[in-house]
Amino acid sequence: MTVHGPNGATWWMRRSKNNVIAGAQQCCALPGMTMTLPAKLQEIVDDIASMSREEKLETLIAFAETMPDLPERFQEERSKMESVPECMTPVFIIAEKDANGGIVFHLDIPKQSPTVRGLASILTNGLNGCTLEQILSVPADFYLPMNLQEAVSQQRINGFIGVLAHMKQAAVKVSQ
């Protein structure tokens, strides 16, 4: 499949061995779950869901390595952020509106933390350009069908959900 980056950039990701067509797999793997995710996020979730553990790790690396640097215009705000020495990974999130009124997120995460970068990049790729309503409607457990637990620790996934929560807050702020 091809994943669309924030600036229209694309990259190719390995198709899973069982060759599930992206988007064709329903995301209702867990009983009682119904989800209406933004289309791009749904596509990523479906694709990762169909991958082996090794493919998931490769995909996370691809997402981490293709995460764009924080645009120059935000550098000043970034430097004003307090650094937290005990913190595992400092994550900086800022949202802005694009020309169509969609919300675009910019994240700054150290390159020494590829897992956090990879997970956060799933969110920016899946949500950039979405409306505030679409972003707020993403449930905190949307990640379950991806079965990331087999590749990364629960602590990591909790961090990932924390990033989503902060992105929602940033989206609300930019919409006020």
Partner 1 sequence: MSYAHPDYLVETEWVAQHLSDPEIRIVESDEDPLLYAIGHIPGAAQVDWFTTLQHPLRRDFVTRDQFEEVASKLGITNDTTVVFYGDKSNWFACYALWLFQYYGHQKVKIMNGGRTKWEQEKRELVKDVPAFKPTTYKAKEADKSIRAFRDDVFKSLEAKKPLVDVRSPKEYSGELTHMPNYPQEGATRGGHIPGAVSIPWAQAVNEADSTFKTAEELKALYEGKNIKSDGEIIAYCRIGERSSLTWFVLKYLLGYPTVKNYDGSWTEWGNLVDAPIEK
- What is the distance between the alpha carbons of residues 125 and 89, in angstroms, rounded to a whole number? 20
The region of 22-30, 60-68, 100-108, 127-135 touching partner 1 under the rule CB under 8 A is 60-68
In the complex with partner 1, the residue whose CB is nearer, 19 or 158, is: 158
In the complex with partner 1, the residue whose CB is nearer, 42 or 105, is: 105
Position 113 contacts partner 1 (CB under 8 A): yes
- What is the distance between the alpha carbons of residues 14 and 1, in angstroms, rounded to a whole number? 7
Single residue of 12, 34, 76, 86 touching partner 1 by CB under 8 A: 86
Q: What is the largest CA-CA distance in the chain?
A: 47
Q: How many residues bind partner 1 (CB under 8 A)?
A: 29
Among 99, 91, 105, 101, CA closest to 171 = 105
The least CB distance from residue 109 to partner 1, in Å, is 10
DSSP percent split of the chain into helix, strand, coil, nearest 5: 45, 10, 45
Total H helices, total E strands in the chain:
6, 4
Which residues contact partner 1 (rule: CB under 8 A)? 57-58, 60-61, 64-65, 84-91, 112-116, 118, 151-153, 155, 158-159, 161-162, 165
